[in-house]
């Protein structure tokens, strides 16, 4: 019975560390994260959209408060006399949160943190440009939307560049899934822009 008495407290400590790791909050790490939305023109009404939480409206200061996740967030904004504007907000790995969790709860805490998305963070700010609802000519309209499409493509390429260094033989499938998710988000945003371009008013 003596070995059992010795192991019981150790097992209890391991289970506690696994079931209830520390949950950092704020902009970096897990918990709730805050994204300040900057719009052009200023004063647009915005919301964050993500499949697991639905639509979360920004507060009066233009800040979206949303749970940490590994999923891409989409910000959508509306304003009078403007077409709806949006942007993709990709997650970034938070090395500080990983190190803090490992120091506090070891490998079990790391596993729980990875499952919860607490090692991902969104950028502190997101910028959204709302194009006019009407244009003086087809050329002006198409030029404006082409610039938006180019910006979305560049944003997706930058995120894939962040993902690729983490790829290895042991997690190749996960990397492929992450890259495919970025490609799908970019394709969806470009399709939205094309629909708006086609419906924009021109003389």
Give tens-digit pLDDT for 23-40: 333 344 448 999 999 999
Kindly state whether residues 88 and 21 are assigned to the same domain.
yes
Kindly state whether residues 32 and 108 are assigned to the same domain.
yes
* Domain limit, last residue, from 130, 158, 182: 130
Kindly state whether residues 47 and 146 are assigned to the same domain.
no
Kindly state whether residues 154 and 102 are assigned to the same domain.
no
Kindly state whether residues 188 and 114 are assigned to the same domain.
no
Per-residue burial over 171-197, b = 16 or more CB atoms within 10 Å of its CB, e = otherwise: eeeebeebbebbeebbeebbebbeebb
* Beta bridge partners of residue 73, listed in sequence order: 89
* Beta bridge partners of residue 93, listed in sequence order: 120
Token pair in block for residue 143: 């030029």
Domain around 156: 132-203
Kindly state whether residues 94 and 138 are assigned to the same domain.
no
Run of H or E including 88: strand 85-89
Find out whether 48 and 91 touch, Cβ atoms under 8 Å.
no
> pLDDT of 41-90, one tens digit each?
999 999 999 999 999 999 999 999 999 888 999 999 999 999 999 999 99
Q: Which is more confidently placed, 55 or 21?
A: 55
Kindly state whether residues 8 and 105 are assigned to the same domain.
yes
Contacts of residue 130, defined as CB under 8 A and 6 or more positions apart, other chains included, come to: 39, 40, 41, 44, 77, 78, 79, 82, 83, 84, 85
Q: Domains in the chain: how many in total?
A: 2
* Domain limit, last residue, from 72, 97, 130: 130
* Domain limit, last residue, from 77, 105, 130: 130
> pLDDT of 89-146, one tens digit each?
999 876 555 555 545 555 554 444 444 445 688 999 999 999 999 999 999 999 999 9
């Amino acid at each position: 019975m003596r070995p059992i008495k010795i192991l019981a407290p150790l097992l209890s400590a391991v289970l506690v560390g696994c079931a209830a790791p520390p949950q950092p909050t704020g902009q970096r790490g897990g918990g709730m994260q805050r994204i300040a939305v900057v719009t052009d023109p200023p004063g647009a009404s915005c919301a964050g959209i993500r499949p697991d939480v639905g639509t979360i409206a920004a507060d009066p200061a233009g800040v979206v408060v949303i749970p940490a996740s590994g999923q891409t967030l989409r910000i959508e904004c509306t304003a009078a006399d403007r077409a709806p504007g949006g942007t993709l907000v990709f997650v970034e790995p938070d090395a500080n949160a990983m190190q803090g969790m490992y120091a506090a709860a070891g490998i079990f805490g790391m596993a729980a943190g990875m499952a919860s998305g607490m090692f991902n963070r969104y950028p502190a700010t997101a910028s959204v440009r709302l194009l006019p609802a009407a244009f003086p000519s087809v050329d002006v309209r198409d030029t404006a939307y082409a610039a938006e499409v180019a910006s979305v493509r560049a944003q997706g390429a930058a995120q894939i560049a962040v993902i690729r260094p983490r790829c290895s033989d042991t997690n190749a499938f996960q990397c492929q899934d992450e890259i495919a998710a970025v490609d799908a988000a970019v394709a969806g945003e470009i399709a939205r822009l094309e629909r708006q371009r086609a419906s924009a008013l021109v003389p």
